[in-house]
Chains A and B, each alone.
Chain A
Amino acid sequence: DVVMTQSPLSLPVTLGQPASISCRSSQSLVHSDGNTYLTWFQQRPGQSPRRLIYKVSNRDSGVPDRFSGSGSGTDFTLKISRVEAEDVGVYYCMQGTQWPPWTFGQGTKVEIK
């Protein structure tokens, strides 16, 4: 199974400042079709998760452009350019290249300092 490792697990951030979350996979996430199936989800307190970014860097509809995804191979990053109060929650990366199983990272809790 592909193991997904996120860091940090807790990220206190000042409003208006940038934030960055790292996600590393135990194997390359490049699929034989040429795509890299790395997805980021946001779970706000008390809510269901929602997808933010798919295939490394593609933002979902309605996701603010302060969120961006990057990376390749086994190293990936989610960046928030300027953290807002509504960004508080837990962020998960997930791989969908080598399945089953689809595997998630442990989650990174973003909170306001």
Chain B
Amino acid sequence: EVQLLESGGGLVQPGGSLRLSCAASGFTFRNSWMHWVRQAPGEGLVWVSHINTDGSSTSYADSVKGRFTISKDNAKNTLYLQMNSLRAEDTAVYYCLRNFDSWGRGTLVTVSS
């Protein structure tokens, strides 16, 4: 069974940083494309970032480009999202996904002073 468990969310001040982690199990992580998708409170789904199997290719939504960095450690079966220069509008539940067919439960990031 595919399992994705996000962690690292919390309350951070504007301009601050957080690193989200997603522990993966139940599938061959090193062979999987992974994504982060976020959902602001009461809002819809927004794609944030993707990474390919070996981490050699990544992409980002314009709203986070230059501030967020996605990475994956295939030895640890873990996906990361380093978030810098956080803004109030980054407040959302962040979901880790395996190629859109499996979703984690999400971790809440709140950016507020």
A to B CB contacts below 8 Å, 13 in the list: A41-B45, A48-B105, A49-B45, A92-B44, A92-B45, A94-B45, A94-B47, A99-B59, A100-B50, A100-B61, A101-B62, A102-B47, A104-B44
Given A94-B47, A100-B61, 14 other A-B residues pairs in contact with their CB atoms under 8 A: A43-B45, A48-B104, A51-B101, A54-B100, A99-B50, A99-B59, A100-B59, A100-B60, A101-B47, A101-B59, A102-B35, A102-B50, A105-B44, A106-B44
B residues sitting closer than 8 Å to A (CB atoms) are 35, 44-47, 50, 59-62, 95, 100-106
- From A49, A50, A92, A101, B61 is in contact (CB under 8 Å) with A101
Q: Size of chain A's interface in residues, with CB distance under 8 A?
A: 22
